[in-house]
Chain A
Amino acid sequence: MSVLTTTDPVRWIQQRIIKRVGDGSPITPEEILAAMNEGYQLACGQAGCIEYVYTLATADGVQEYSLPGDLYRTRAVYAGGTKLTQVWDRQAVSGSPDMAYYQRAGVIGFPVVPTTTGPVLIRYVATPPPLDLPDTPDPSFGPEWYYLLYHYGTYRAMAQGSGAQDAVFVATQRQAYDAGVSRLRKQVKMLDRSQVLRAHSPTEVGYAR
């Protein structure tokens, strides 16, 4: 007898959701995958589990630059050995610091137009690329968190395709997803502070050592 290996995780979760919502559901497998991806990207963005530093080379006289395409939110911007202040206007106004930046729709800019070239480091939370059936989620979103894709996918599929009799189950799935994302955020913070064992587990069993 040949040795079996596990089913690709995304495919397996999609199969579980299809089984749960039933063959008669108007939701297609493609829509379920899209819902799972929405839950995946939202969870990673909100929890901040994928984080990078992007090096931007400024040029003399150029005020605005494109941000990385996978940016979910900016954590901080650094230049010249300083952490820059975020301002809300592209115009330098009286009292605004020299070392400042603003941000809008995929663009970062500097109220005081750079006159020298130099590295600007942008620390940001990234959105992972969408998953296809053979893919494996980012290692930051490890197998112990895959259950979030099930909760979100089931929530979206059943919210669209089922009646009032499933309303409680649908609400429960959404609650479970939100609670899980909150725990993932805490886990990321613990990894940040590194090496502290007294952290929240993926299922939050409420055990205090």
Chain B
Amino acid sequence: MNSQDDLDYTNNAQMRVCADALLLHAQTTLTMLAGENFVTLPDDLIRMTGISVSAMPLPVVPRDRAIMLQSLPENAVVGDQGHYLLGRTLYLSPTPIQDTTITIAYIRRPAQMQSDDQLEISGQAEEAVRLRVLADTLTDDGQDEMAQLHEQLYQQAIRNVRRQSGQLASRLTFGSPLDGDLA
């Protein structure tokens, strides 16, 4: 395998491992201007784990009800503020009348690798990356039985990584991302 192949397979494997084992956590703030009710979620977001405004958890509102309100001729301001998602867009309902800063906590993807980068993960997760690379390269080479074996080993490694990281993940409940140590 040449250097380019090595980089491509490793980058792909790290993406898979991080998503399969929900390993990397991040927090960011998004600003919604007055009169706007939506903002696009970060590209590296896999799954949101918490959302808050001014350190207060922001509840989910029923999406149907929120969009029904939008379909009224006047932009009705009804009910307490909450959020809902459509695809990768985060909406607030009702539409804020002033600039609003939202904090979200989420599970993220790793950055695209370059050849001089280290993996963002280590330990058993790094071993899972190695197994993922082997499973993929063996499949591409037509060695299906060996590929299947490494696929099974990969699945086992992911189970181990998730078990290991489960203690932290179980603390990430819905609510304020400011609760708990998410870094």
Residues of A within 8 A of B (CB): 3-7, 12, 16, 19-20, 49-53, 76, 78-83, 118-121, 123, 139-140, 142-144, 146-147, 169, 187, 190-197, 199, 201-203, 205-207, 209
**Inter-chain contact A205/B49, CB cutoff 8 Å:** no
B83, B87, B159, B174 — most chain A CB neighbours (10 Å) = B87
The count of residues in chain B whose C-beta lies closer than 8 Å to any C-beta of chain A is: 61
Please indicate the chain A residues that have their CB under 8 angstroms from the CB of B48 in the complex. Answer: 191, 194-195
Q: How far is the CA of A6 from the CA of B8 in the complex (A)?
A: 5
**Inter-chain contact B67/A76, CB cutoff 8 Å:** yes
Q: How many contacting A-B pairs (Cβ < 8 A)? A: 152
Q: 19 A-B contacts, Cβ less than 8 Å apart?
A: A4-B3, A5-B114, A5-B115, A20-B142, A52-B86, A78-B68, A81-B68, A121-B70, A140-B87, A144-B18, A194-B83, A195-B174, A197-B173, A201-B21, A201-B22, A203-B154, A206-B155, A207-B163, A209-B169
Given A52-B86, A83-B68: A19 in contact with B140 (beta carbons within 8 A)? yes
Residue of A nearest to B91 (CB): A53
**Inter-chain contact B49/A4, CB cutoff 8 Å:** no
Q: How far is the CA of A115 from the CA of B55 in the complex (A)?
A: 47
Q: Which positions 17-37 of chain B face chain A at CB distance < 8 Å?
A: 18-22
Given A143-B12, A190-B47: A4 in contact with B115 (beta carbons within 8 A)? yes
**Inter-chain contact B88/A205, CB cutoff 8 Å:** no
Nearest 3 pairs of A and B residues by beta carbon = A144-B19, A4-B115, A51-B87
